[in-house]
Amino acid sequence: MSVSEMFAALQGALGQDQDIREEIRKVVQALEQTAREILTLLQGVHQGPGFQHISKKCQKAREHFGTVRTQMESLKTKFPADQYYRFHEHWRFVLQRLVFLAAFVVYLESETLVTREAVAEILGIEADRERGFHLDIEDYLSGILTLASELARLAVNSVTAGDYSRPLRISAFINELDSGFRLLNLKNDSLRKRYDGLKYDVKKIEEVVYDLSIRGLNKEATVSAGGEK
């Protein structure tokens, strides 16, 4: 084979690779748009009236995740099944965003931490690497760290809306989450940096709880929470 023939073959391979990446980008753009729609919907819980309609917002968000599952099915067909990590960078960010949104919905519904398996089911992908297009552990953890930041913000806005018990529950949840992350030996630089930000979320929520305490509102919140149970 001549040099020109060798490079012609290489160009053909490069062209095929570029076509695959372009097809992936189109689906990822659609996923990003759906993620923005879900985020816009859920941001309403931070406003006063939004606290009264959390269940409805979660229900609508669940409907949007139906679109996500359809888009994920399309994404799976755009590249060879055994080359997940070769193209992973294309959808890594939007997948982490979708993990956060799914985790936020589950927290708003039940105030519990969603499992990686449950997130994978919500998104219409696999939890196990061996089964194909899957939710990478580090992508799951990154999404959960974004949830922590969102809940820190929710704790502040809860007080503004007159909901004094929610910050106490968020505080307990975030502290438990922080304890869980402390069990991990994180080697990924990006994930490690994001985890370092969790301590600021913990501190922010502690300040909210402390403010409620010195104003005597934590007792009111505890009584209210007891009444709800």
- The answer to the question of whether 121 is labelled as a binding residue is no
Q: Which residues lie closer than 8 Å to 119 by C-beta, 6 or more apart?
A: 99, 102, 103, 135, 140, 143
What is the CA angle 151-136-186, rounded to 5? 70
Alpha-carbon distance of 91 to 81, in angstroms, equals 15
For residue 126, what are the β-bridge partners?
Answer: 134
Residue numbering of the annotated binding site for Mg(2+):
150
Residues in the annotated binding site: 150
